[in-house]
Amino acid sequence: MHFLNTVSFLSIFVVSALFPLSASACEGPCITNTTDKYIEKFTTPVKTLLGYTNIKIASRFYIPSTADCASHLQDAYHKVAYASLENAIFPSYFHGKCEQHTANGTLVNPPGCPNPDCPVVCGTPGSMVHFFPVLRNITVTTHEEIFALLTKQDSASFQDVKTCVLNAMPAKKCPNKDASHTTRSFSRLFAARFPRSLARGSFTGLSRRETCFDDATFEKDLHDVLQAGMVQMWPDVCDAHNEYAKCNWEKEMKAFILQFP
Ligand SMILES: *[C@@H]1O[C@H](CO)[C@@H](O)[C@H](O)[C@H]1NC(C)=O
Ligand SMILES: *[C@@H]1O[C@H](CO)[C@@H](O)[C@H](O)[C@H]1NC(C)=O
Ligand SMILES: *[C@@H]1O[C@H](CO)[C@@H](O)[C@H](O)[C@H]1NC(C)=O
């Protein structure tokens, strides 16, 4: 019994020596609350972006903007935002201890570390504050990566937007004598009856009654709209030319992060 206690004491000792539970690393609530705080701050720019995207979709496919097909992208964003952002900030960039080897081989925290302004990239609030421009850029570019994934043709969110647009599109009212049960086969049937060159034309070149497209052309058009509407617009929404001034929140975020020990 005494022996076992000694062993377990030793193993705890060894484990904690190897992986010290440093109270100064950003962990637990520091990670979850900081990530949540960022998601809260990004709500407005994401809403702005989706508003633009919705208008672009509506004008491209002659559907009312009240169809709100971009809402499917919003839903998909909510599902992945937390995990993507936490992963991009914490294990991917801000992690590890701040201690550095001195000449005599001991480990010491450099001045300012762990908090409040630690000039070593490590997993502490002080480091996140010191490298705030990197932290900000990570949060902005992670959003761009999320939007790129959500607008890929093989993503569920892309297909949801597509279904939404097709349901709202005047094109589905095109004459169709053959019974067809799905939008997809409808598009194919229609494309077969109309010359491809016509089907490939821009929507604006056709009257509303004639806007019938084959599936591949429709998907390509939708993909282009979503790339232009979401992925390419994002840096502008955040004001990339001005150090992402609109997605910065430097004062507020630094104060928020430094509340953690
Ligand atoms: C972290 O967030 C949780 C849940 O929102 C909250 O209860 C807690 O008070 C927060 N902690 C800090 C230090 O902000
Ligand atoms: C090693 O050097 C640091 C300063 O660089 C000093 O604070 C520490 O006391 C030294 N340790 C030993 C064992 O000499
Ligand atoms: C952050 O991104 C902006 C805009 O692309 C760039 O000008 C700046 O140099 C980046 N800053 C850092 C620290 O990476």
Spatial distance between the Cα atoms of 194 and 167, rounded to a whole number of angstroms: 21
Q: Is residue 181 part of a domain?
A: no
Proximal ligand: closest to the CA of 33: 1
Could you tell which of 132, 137, 232 is best to mutate to test the pocket of ligand 3, judged by most ligand atoms within 8 Å of the CB?
A: 137
Would you state the pLDDT for residue 217? 87
Q: Is residue 167 part of a domain?
A: yes
Structural domain count of the chain: 1
Could you tell which of 26, 30, 31, 33 is best to mutate to test the pocket of ligand 1, judged by most ligand atoms within 8 Å of the CB?
A: 33
Helix (H) or strand (E) holding 185: helix 183-193
Q: Whose CA is nearest to atom 14 of ligand 1?
A: 33
Query: What domain range is 68 assigned to?
Result: 22-98+112-171+222-257
The answer to whether the pTM exceeds 0.75 is yes
Atom of ligand 1 nearest to the CA of 259: 13
Spatial distance between the Cα atoms of 187 and 220, rounded to a whole number of angstroms: 14
Would you state the pLDDT for residue 11? 39
CA of 20 to the centre of ligand 2 (A): 20
Q: Is residue 152 part of a domain?
A: yes
Q: Residue 77's closest CA among 43, 31, 103?
A: 43
The vertex-170 CA angle with 77 and 209, nearest 5°, equals: 150
DSSP 92-119: TTS-S---EE-TTS-EEPPTTTTTT---
Atom of ligand 1 nearest to the CA of 260: 13
Q: Whose CA is nearest to atom 5 of ligand 2?
A: 102
Residue-by-residue pLDDT tens, the chain, 261 positions: 344 343 343 333 333 333 444 446 788 899 999 999 999 999 999 999 999 999 999 999 999 999 999 999 999 999 999 999 999 999 999 998 899 999 999 999 999 998 999 999 999 999 999 999 999 999 999 999 999 999 999 999 999 999 999 999 876 544 453 434 334 433 443 444 333 433 333 443 344 445 566 788 899 999 999 999 899 999 999 999 999 999 999 999 999 999 998
Would you state the pLDDT for residue 193? 39
What is the distance of C-alpha 83 from the center of its chain? 9
Q: Is residue 192 part of a domain?
A: no
Q: Is residue 195 part of a domain?
A: no
